[in-house]
Structure formats: C-alpha cells, structure tokens
Amino acid sequence: MALVQPMKKEDDRDDEEEYSPYLGIEKGAVLQEARVFNDPQLDARRCAQVITKLLYLLNQGEVFTKVEATEVFFSVTKLFQSKDVSLRRMVYLMIKELSPSADEVIIVTSSLMKDMNSKTDLYRANAIRVLCRITDGFLLGQIERYIKQALVDKNVVVASAALVSGIHLLQSNPDIVKRWSNEVQEAVQSRAALVQFHALALLHQIRQNDRLAVNKLVTSLTRGSIRSPLAQCLLVRYTSQVIRETASNNQTGDRPFYDYLEGCLRHKNDMVILEAARAITELNGVTTRELTPAITVLQLFLSSSKPVLRFAAVRTLNKVAMTHPLAVTNCNIDMESLISDQNRSIATLAITTLLKTSNESSVDRLMKQITNFMSDIADEFKIVVVEAIRSLCLKFPLKYRTLMNFLSNILREEGGFEYKTAIVDSILILIRDIPDAKESGLSHLCEFIEDCEFSYLSSQILHFLGNEGPKTLDPSKYIRYIHTRVILENATVRASAVSALAKFGALVEPLKPRILVLLRRCLYDNDDEVRDRATLYLNALESGSQLEDGGFRADKFVFGTLDVPLANLEASLQAYESSETPFDIRSVPKDVKSQPYSEKKAPGPKKPSKDAALPAAANEKSLHGAKSVDAYEKLLSSIPEFSTFGKLFKSSAPVELTEETEYEVNVVKHIYPGHVVFQYNCTNTIPEQLLQNVNILAEILEGDEFSEVVSKPLPSLPYNSPGQAFVAFEKPQGVYSIGKFANTMRFLVKEVDKDTGEVEEEGVEDEYQLEDLEVVPSDYFLKQTVQNFRNAWENLAPEFERVDEYGLGVKDSLNEAVQAVIEIFGLQPCEGTEVVPSNARSHTCLLAGKFVGDISVLARLSFGIDPQKQVAMKLAVRSEDQYVSDAIHEILSGA
C-alpha cells in the first residue's frame, strides 16, 4: 500500500502540470525516428514532427556529433521531394540550425536554387535566407544575380530576406555586396516599412567608411522620405554620427541637422522620439537651449503607463544629470513619484537621478523618501543607491549628519556582504574626507561591529579604529567596543582587536596601563596568532621607551608607519636567508625607485606621453608627478653631495635606457637652478649574479655648458632589488642648457649559487651599453595650471611680451600640430584648450607653467590650417623675465 501511493501521485502530476509531449525523449531514439525521412512514401506530418523533436533537442542544449549531424542533414535534404509547404518551412529551419559544412552544402544548393526561382514568394524568401546563411564566397558568385534581383523584388518578404542576408554577407564577402549598391539604394525608397529599414541599414554599412557618402545620404534622407519608424531610428543614429564628425564651431552657433533631430521629437512613434531625444542629450557640448525640447519629451514619458517608456526616460535623464544636473531639475517632481514605482529598476534610477540633481535644501526630504524605499529592493539596487549617497555627501559636506545617519540605519538592517561592504566603505570615505563626521562615523562603526557577521568587515573596521580612535578627543570610549570583540569573536577578529588595542596603548599614554592589563589577559587566548600578537605588543609597549642599539625604538617600529616601500621590503625578505643574524629592517633600501618600477608593471597607462592628449590622463599624470617630486626631494636631500645644489625644481618621468634585458635601467632627470642630476634606477634581473660597484659613465656628446661634478656609484646590486646610481652636472644658472649624453654602466659581476645563495669571491669587470639620454628644453619647464588664463595674462607685464609667427609645414590635422607643440614646451594646457574639435580649421591653445627659477610663463598659441594642410601658428608669450619669453621662441625655432 505504502509503495503504491507515491507512484500514483507521480502519475497525477504528470497529467496535470508536468505534461509535455517531449517528456523523456532521447536523442538516440529521435535519430532513429529520423529514418522516416528516407521513406519512399513521405508522411509529411510525421516528418515535420520528427524535425520538431530534433529542434527541441538542439534547443535544450543537446549536441549532435559530427556523424549524427551529417546523417540528419543528408536525410533532411531528401524532404525537398515533398510538396507539403509546412514541412518545407521546417526543412529550411532545420538546415540553418545544422549549419552544414561546405562539402555538405553542395547537396542542397540545387534544391535551394530551385526554390529561389520558384513562383511562390515565401519559398523564394526562405531559400534566399538559407542559402546566404550557409553559402561560401564561391557559391555566392553563382547566385549573386538572383539576390540582386530579389533586393528590389516587389514582394516585401523577398526583398527583406535579400537585404538582411546582404547585411550578414557584407561581413564575409564585402566586395560582392558592395556591387549591389544601386539596387539597395532603390530599395531605400520602398513604401514597405521594413524593406526601407533593412535597405537603409545595408546601404549605410556599405558606405560607412566613406564619410562624404554618409553625409550625403543623411542630407538627402533627413529632408523626409523615410516612413518606417525603425528606419527613422537608424537615420537619427547616422545623423548624430555625422554631427559628431562635423565641426561644431559653426559661426552662427547653429548645429547642422539639429533641426532634423528636434523635428523627430514630434514624430508620432515613441520609438523615434526616444531615439532623437537620446541623440540630442548625447551631442558633444550640448547647450541648454538644445537640450530643453528633449528633456520636455522625456519628462512626458516619465508619467507614461508603460514601464518600458518610464524606464527609457529615467535612464536617459539619469545620464544627463551627470553632466547637466540643472537641466533635469524640472523633472524632479515626476521623478519623485517614481520612487514608489513597482519596477525597482525605474525606482533606483529615479533615486540616483534625484541624488545627482538635488540641492542642499532638499536633501533631508529626499532621504526620508528613500528610507522607505530601501527596505524593499534587492541588494544590487541598494549598492547603487549607497554609492550615489556617498557622492552626494561629498558634494554637500554640511549635510553629513543626515546622510551619515541614513548610512548607519541601513547598516543595521539585513543585507549581504557586498552591500554591507559598500556601506562601510562609504562611511570610511566620509570619515576621511569630512573631519566633522569622524566622531559620529566611528561610533556608528563601533555599533556595527557589535553585531557584524562578516569577519572581513570587522577586521577592517578594527584596524581603522586602531588608527583613528587614538586621535579623537576621547579615545577611551572605543576601548570597550574593541575589548568586547576580544571576548566574543572568532580568532581572526580577536587578532585584529588585539592590534587595535595595542595601538591605543602606544599612542595614548594615559591609557597605557589599562591596555597592558587587557593585553596580558590575551596571553591565554587559545589561538596562536592572538597570543603571538599580544606577546609582541606587550613587549613593545613595556620596553618601548628604552632605546635599543643604534637608536632603534621597538614601539616606533611596531606602531609607526613602515617607512620603507613595501615592494622593497618584500624583495629584501625574499633575498634574506635564515641564518644566525636576524633580518634587519634597516637593510631594506628606502629609495623610491620602486615607484616608477611598480608604475611600469601597472596595467594602466603604458606610454604616458602619447596619452597626454586626454585631459584626464594628463591630470592624473601631473598629480602623480607632484607626489613623486616630494619623494624624490626627500631622497636627494639625504645625499650630502647634492645638498649645496639648492631647491629641486623638477624631476622628469623615468626614461627607459634599456629594453627588457638582463639589466633594466631607467633614468630620472632632476633639475636644479644650476645643476642637473641624473638618477639611474638599476635593476638586476639575473638570479645568478650579484653586481658590485655599479658606476654609470655619462659622457657628454652635445652640450658645452655641462660639466660633471659628482658621480655616485651603487655599491651593490643584488638580484631583483633595485638600487640607484647618480651623476650630477653643473650648468649655468637660470638658462635652459640642452645636451645629449652617452651612458655606460660599469660594474663587477660576481656569480651567485642559486641554491645556496653563496657569492663567489672573484668577480669580473664588465660594462653594459645603455641608450643615450637627452636633456631637452621642456625639462626646464614645470606644468602649472592657472584658473583664469585671461586674468593671469593681464597680470603679467606686457613689456616682456614676445609675439612671432611660424609655419609648421604640412600636418595631418590641426590636432597633430597642437599636440606636437604642447609636447615641445612641457607646459600645462589650460581651460581644456588642448582638445581640438575634429575638422576645426583654427584653434587657440593656452599654456601655462614655470621656468627654472620659479619664473611664471604663459603662452597663447593660435593655429590655423589651410586646405593644403599647411599649418601656421602665431605664438605670443608673456613671462616675468625677458630671457624666458625669448627662450620660448628660441626653443620653437630650434625644434
């Protein structure tokens, strides 16, 4: 009885819900069934059923072996004998799905060609689609004539089939398809919507590399012969492409084709309206006047009953809000009602848009609305909102209280790891950037770790508390939170808590005795790591104030920041052999050459000089530059020989002197008022070698004004532990001396046993030729941005203004000329003038910077290009010194 029951139940379910005609069908059995295709008397219905089963199997992801596929294909081809239309339709589909190989295709070619010339239009359309899908170039030559006719066939299905096939064939056989241009052009005029759409898509793809032809196409079609909405969408896309490529600095300020786009905003089909509105919002440097009509139609969409329309509109407005937040504020009321939209994607987009456009006064109200919304959306949407709130808070630091409260509230609610991480990261960033938010932020984090299920986050927060807590007004209040973790948490978190506690002990003297008591308790922890940390910190804290040998203080080391680059420490630790002598942190090189070294390895900008055209990359570079100058200054001032040189003016980016070889050397040029120092960063990449007494000989090839004053060799260069050698030259004060130097690296090579690490006593003298190094005029100029170029220009006395005109010869484009000149001077382009609109005939570029000796210099460059691509330039320079103004002109004439 008990056995029968479940059986019956299963039957029931089969009948009711799980019924499927395909239940339990198997590939093997269906392939057997496919033999009916070979029957002399074809049963059309049965055959169609078997094909459906085969298609079902393929659709479910079943794979046919090569042999099986071939077998099925051959038997399917037999079905062309049947006159049954439905079966024929299935045969077409099956052949496409089987994607037969070239030698198999031959079997069906004649059958398909027959159908292609059939009187029945649907046979013709389908046969064209199948043939074009499976054909190769050779076969295409044979059928080209028919397809060409089909393109302009009066039957729309046939014409569309041929045109769409043309779009696919253009990828594989562009030469043949390009010959159909005339027919396709005729088809564009078709009255049938989809034929027009397909024809336009194909025509554009045929001509897409011919800018003039596309321009002509757009010019003629925008006058209005397109009826199909889909084709109209294509035309809008092509039009914005043309606009992008045409010069925008038209005299009247009117953008070509803008009227057409604007007209499309009144099209009767929403699809076209959306396409046009989006095209307008994405125009380069779109003005508010141009934007307004597009925003207006999108605003109407916001209150549509169709989710798709609302989504499309809010998504577009969200993008606009990133660049033109003010233009979108009109939609704020509609946007607010979308916060409660059933569709959570729409609601999230509406919120993030509002967060971008809201002003300081509306933040509180907005946050109230969002709070209700947050509880019922998925984590992935919440993360988007949290990120938007973080940037809002950085925009309105005064509102930190509201926003911080919001973050701490959602932190207490349920959520996955990624969501919580996003919140914690946001709080950490706010604490870092908004000093007022620190105290409240820290206490929110303290509360959070009381009940945090993610060890990773707890550890991160404890580490942060250890760093920041001691610097607050009342550090003692954090001790309780941290110590509770020591009692209640798992080993990972306990270890982090011990470290955090110890930091309080080291940094806050009054708390030290209490911390020592707490740490002593941890000595009995049942986890090794926790006990080890407690022991280490106790020792460091108790013996902290006593000086060890050589003025080395244990507490400074344990609690201070590590003053050696981590990469160097890693390299030294790897090189360290366990022996009697303990590892000495002081042996780790402190130099900064690891910076260029790591930069080289980073996947980011590999050839920075070429990217300089992009403002973002340039900014990043100069930022980076400022950072490394500080580090270089520190390093150089620690070398007594250079102490008399005065203030370091500029350090160049590292210049590679070798190509990925056994020794890697790059050089940094340091410019002082009367000296130039070359810092050679050397890396030895051969594990079996130790280099000693590494000396760089820099021989002056050109440049009479230089004379060598100091050469500082590198005593030892072990494997993979970079080091530097220096050579310094004296040169006349305050002038730009240019020169060229030949570099040779001379050293003593000693063999190293890779296994034992033993170094042989005897070494061999060797030398290694490096590439030449040039000192160029731009080395003496420092990039410096001025906020208002006009003011800065007026403030510099006109008496040192020098103006001259130059012919720059033939250039590919104005942009090329501008970038080349910027490169020569090494000055900072201001106000975005380094960007040249494509096709511009003239351009003005503003440069600013300092010459060695801190002399400000400004340059205004006006470029013009004539139809023969001859570029002329007028250069006006103002500076605080006549010499510098003249120098800029001399440099240009010399270049």
Binding site for another protein (CB under 8 A): 19-22, 45, 48-49, 51-52, 55-56, 59-61, 85-86, 88-90, 93, 96, 120-123, 129, 133, 155-157, 160-161, 164-165, 167-168, 192, 194, 197-198, 201, 204-205, 208-209, 230, 233-234, 237-238, 241, 270-271, 274-275, 278, 305-309, 311-312, 315, 342-345, 378
Report which of 271, 182, 256 is spatially closest to residue 226, judged by C-alpha positions: 271
> Could you tell me the sign of the dihedral formed by the alpha carbons of 32, 34, 39, 44, in that order?
positive
C-alpha distances (whole Å) from 654 to each of 186, 192, 628, 651, 661 are 60, 64, 11, 9, 17
Which of the 8 DSSP states describes residue 360?
A: G
In whole angstroms, how close is the CB of 804 to another protein at the nearest point? 42
**Cβ burial, residue 788 (10 Å; 0-12/13-18/19+):** exposed
In whole angstroms, how close is the CB of 289 to another protein at the nearest point? 25
> Which alpha helices (DSSP H) does 740-894 contain, by range?
789-795, 814-825, 882-894
Query: Is 232 or 594 the residue whose CB approaches another protein more closely?
Result: 232
Q: Return the number of other C-beta atoms located less than 10 Å from residue 683's C-beta.
A: 20
In whole angstroms, how close is the CB of 307 to another protein at the nearest point? 5
C-alpha distances (whole Å) from 500 to each of 431, 489, 505, 553, 563 are 18, 14, 9, 20, 20
Query: Is 153 or 334 the residue whose CB approaches another protein more closely?
Result: 153
Query: Is 278 or 669 the residue whose CB approaches another protein more closely?
Result: 278
In whole angstroms, how close is the CB of 877 to another protein at the nearest point? 41
> Could you tell me the sign of the dihedral formed by the alpha carbons of 544, 548, 554, 557, in that order?
positive
Where residue 743 falls (left for φ over 0; alpha for ψ -120 to 50; beta otherwise) is beta
In whole angstroms, how close is the CB of 90 to another protein at the nearest point? 6
Query: Is 230 or 445 the residue whose CB approaches another protein more closely?
Result: 230
Which residue is associated with the tokens 């990449």?
685
* Beta pairing, strands 723-730 & 655-656: unpaired
In whole angstroms, how close is the CB of 51 to another protein at the nearest point? 7
In whole angstroms, how close is the CB of 160 to another protein at the nearest point? 6
In whole angstroms, how close is the CB of 617 to another protein at the nearest point? 23
630/635 Cα distance (integer angstroms): 9
Helices (runs of H) and strands (runs of E) counted in the chain = 39, 17
Query: Is 344 or 514 the residue whose CB approaches another protein more closely?
Result: 344
Query: Is 56 or 146 the residue whose CB approaches another protein more closely?
Result: 56
The tokens describing 861, both together, are 């460059």
676/706 Cα distance (integer angstroms): 9
Residues sharing a CB contact under 8 Å with residue 830, sequence separation 6 or more, in sequence order:
785, 786, 789, 846, 847, 848
Query: Is 233 or 892 the residue whose CB approaches another protein more closely?
Result: 233
151/199 Cα distance (integer angstroms): 8
In whole angstroms, how close is the CB of 422 to another protein at the nearest point? 18
592/658 Cα distance (integer angstroms): 19
506/534 Cα distance (integer angstroms): 13
Angle value at C-alpha 280, between 236 and 613, nearest 5 degrees: 105
Query: Is 46 or 553 the residue whose CB approaches another protein more closely?
Result: 46
Q: Return the number of other C-beta atoms located less than 10 Å from residue 725's C-beta.
A: 24
Query: Is 122 or 629 the residue whose CB approaches another protein more closely?
Result: 122
In whole angstroms, how close is the CB of 246 to another protein at the nearest point? 16
DSSP string, 756-790: T-PEEEEEEEEEEE---EEE-GGGGEEE---S-HH
In whole angstroms, how close is the CB of 17 to another protein at the nearest point? 8
Query: Is 205 or 332 the residue whose CB approaches another protein more closely?
Result: 205
744/768 Cα distance (integer angstroms): 6
Query: Is 209 or 893 the residue whose CB approaches another protein more closely?
Result: 209
In whole angstroms, how close is the CB of 7 to another protein at the nearest point? 23
Query: Is 381 or 645 the residue whose CB approaches another protein more closely?
Result: 381
Query: Is 346 or 449 the residue whose CB approaches another protein more closely?
Result: 346
> Which alpha helices (DSSP H) does 226-281 contain, by range?
229-245, 258-264, 270-281
Query: Is 191 or 601 the residue whose CB approaches another protein more closely?
Result: 191
Query: Is 51 or 430 the residue whose CB approaches another protein more closely?
Result: 51
Which of the 8 DSSP states describes residue 846?
A: E
Residues sharing a CB contact under 8 Å with residue 697, sequence separation 6 or more, in sequence order:
711, 743, 744, 745, 746
Residues sharing a CB contact under 8 Å with residue 294, sequence separation 6 or more, in sequence order:
265, 276, 277, 278, 280, 281
In whole angstroms, how close is the CB of 201 to another protein at the nearest point? 4
Query: Is 116 or 873 the residue whose CB approaches another protein more closely?
Result: 116
In whole angstroms, how close is the CB of 138 to another protein at the nearest point? 21
Report which of 305, 328, 304 is spatially closest to residue 318, judged by C-alpha positions: 328
Cα–chain center distance at 774:
34
In whole angstroms, how close is the CB of 58 to another protein at the nearest point? 10
768/806 Cα distance (integer angstroms): 43
Q: What amino acid is encoded at 834 in this protein?
A: E
559/543 Cα distance (integer angstroms): 13
In whole angstroms, how close is the CB of 137 to another protein at the nearest point? 18
Query: Is 121 or 447 the residue whose CB approaches another protein more closely?
Result: 121
In whole angstroms, how close is the CB of 330 to another protein at the nearest point? 22
Which residue is associated with the tokens 């105290």?
439
Query: Is 61 or 550 the residue whose CB approaches another protein more closely?
Result: 61
180 phi and psi angles, rounded to 5 deg: -90, 5
In whole angstroms, how close is the CB of 142 to another protein at the nearest point? 22
